[in-house]
Amino acid sequence: MRFDTKIGIVVRDDLAVWQRLNVTAFLAGAVAGGVPGLIGSPYEDAAGTAYLPTFRQPVLVYVADAGGLSALRSRAVSRGLDTAVYIEEMFTTGNDDDNRAVVRAVTPDDMSLVGLAVHGPRNAVDKSLKGLPLHP
């Protein structure tokens, strides 16, 4: 099935594996919570056990260096895409309020991006992510 929209998550290529997974999870949660209609219906197995719903479409995960993430942020914002950021300072916080505070404290050009999620029309997302390799 081909979707009209696309979800892409990009993590910095020099992060430890646990950091890449953590950043990906946080950014996926941002997209799920911030874009209405992306989550499907709950699941249920043959025994009647209920499970949480998931995204209704695939999520593609890419890698980039720090410069690539910065360029992607600029492209995504200029195209009006739904964008979520994860900056290095967020690894040192312990809660959502502090996460928002560390992001609020830096200008876009000074963000030490370690991850970014974008959602929007497929063509605009593809143009923003152009040239980035999928996560291995």
In tens, the pLDDT along 74-101 reads: 999 999 999 999 999 999 998 999 999 9
pLDDT at 87: 97
Assess whether pLDDT exceeds 80 at residue 33.
yes
Spatial distance between the Cα atoms of 128 and 39, rounded to a whole number of angstroms? 23
pLDDT at position 132, please? 94
Kindly report the average pLDDT of the chain as a whole number.
Answer: 95
- The CA distance from 67 to 74, in Å, is 11
Note the pTM of the prediction, 2 decimals.
Answer: 0.93
Report the chain's terminal Cα–Cα distance, integer Å: 23
Q: Is the pLDDT of residue 128 over 90?
A: yes
**CA nearest neighbour of 85 among 2, 5, 3, 10:** 10
Q: What is the pLDDT of residue 2?
A: 83
